[in-house]
Amino acid sequence: MISLDYKLAFIIPYRDREEHLAMFVPHYRNLFPDADIYVVHQLGKAPFNKGMLFNIGFLYVEQRADAFDLSDVDMLAVEGHVDYSFPRAATHLASAASQFGYKMPYPIYFGGHVLVTAEQMRSVNGFYNDYPGYGCEDDSFYRSFVNKGLPVDRRYGRYESLPHNRHVDHDEHLMDLFNRNWEHFKSVPRDYSNGITSCKYDIAAVHQLEGYTQLDVNI
Ligand code: UDP
Ligand code: MN
């Protein structure tokens, strides 16, 4: 169990990962009994839009917590090897995940678990909404801070990744743009008008489930 001096909420973009969610919820409930867990469930068959689901979850919980862990459903924090102290800047936590051999997969990796305050999230208008598919929205998020000259932070954090098949829903456009070529990618401007403030969606249902809240959303 980890005690915190602020209110923490987990925001998890989610579709079709029942086994992972069934492990995520009890794991983080035990670790952080006072934190809240919000699962943002994308309905329908359209490409999974991870960035937009983070925006939607954030808008729902913004007033209900002090900081938010933008979480993959399949990375479980290892007690004693993560630092969830209050973030002074947008903070990458999942720097040592088992799926990447407990090290950074590439130098600017900013995914898996990222701890932000509402102010930090708002400072870049959250995530860009219109990348079809997913993958690289975390790189884009990182760029959003760097391009504005805003600080980011990274901590050592050990996570056990749950196994799954490699997805095929990647955003090929963004992959091409980025192509792990950070010097190029950071020079491509982010449209800051596209984000939390322009996010169009419909919450079809809110379910209070055992240990977490699930938002069913149409995007
Ligand atoms: N995700 C999901 N359903 C999908 C694809 C992704 O719920 O069909 C969510 C889930 O939270 C997952 C995260 O998006 O942990 C990142 O996707 P994925 O695990 O496929 O990425 P990878 O492990 O390949 O980086
Ligand atoms: Mn994964």
More confident residue, 3 or 131: 3
Ligand nearest to the CA of 48: 1
CA distance 69 to 78: 15
Q: Which CATH superfamily is domain 8-218 in?
A: Spore Coat Polysaccharide Biosynthesis Protein SpsA; Chain A (3.90.550.10)
d(CA 94, CA 159): 6
Q: Is the predicted pLDDT of residue 7 greater than 70, yes or no?
A: yes
pLDDT of residue 120: 98
CB atoms under 10 Å from CB of 206, counted, come to 12
- State the pLDDT at residue 177: 60
CB of 35 closer than 8 Å to CB of 27: no
Q: What is the pLDDT of residue 184?
A: 75
Greater model confidence, 80 or 166: 80
Chain mean pLDDT for the chain: 93
Q: Could you read off the pLDDT of 47-76 as tens digits, one per residue?
A: 999 999 999 999 999 999 999 999 999 999
Do residues 38 and 213 make contact, with C-beta atoms less than 8 angstroms apart? yes
Q: What is the pLDDT of residue 183?
A: 75
CB 215 within 8 A of CB 42: no
How far apart, in whole angstroms, are the C-alpha atoms of residue 214 and residue 194?
Answer: 25
pLDDT at 37: 98
Could you give the CA distance from residue 112 to residue 135 in angstroms, rounded to a whole number?
11
Q: Can you tell me which residue has the tokens 């407990």? A: 102
What pTM, to 2 d.p., does this model score?
0.96
Q: Which ligand is nearest to the CA of 162?
A: 2
List of residues 6+ apart from 93 with CB closer than 8 A: 69, 77, 82, 83, 84, 112, 113, 114, 115, 155, 157, 159
pLDDT digits (tens, 9 = 90+) for 141-186: 999 999 999 999 999 999 999 998 866 566 665 665 666 677 777 7
Helix (H, G, I), strand (E, B) or coil at 184: helix
DSSP state of 92: E
State the average pLDDT over residues 196-214: 98
Percent of the chain, pLDDT > 70?
A: 93
Helices 137-147 and 50-61 cross at an angle (nearest 10°) of: 60
| Domain residue limits, the chain | 8-218
Ligand 1 atom nearest to 71, measured from its CA: 11
Q: What is the mean pLDDT of residues 132-143?
A: 85
Probe target for ligand 1 pocket from 23, 48, 92, 167, with the most ligand atoms within 8 Å of CB:
167
Q: Which two tokens stand for residue 160?
A: 């056990």
**Residue partners of 136: CB distance under 8 A and separation at least 6:** 170, 171, 174, 175, 177, 178
Residue nearest to atom 12 of ligand 1 (CA): 72
pLDDT > 90 in the chain, percent: 80
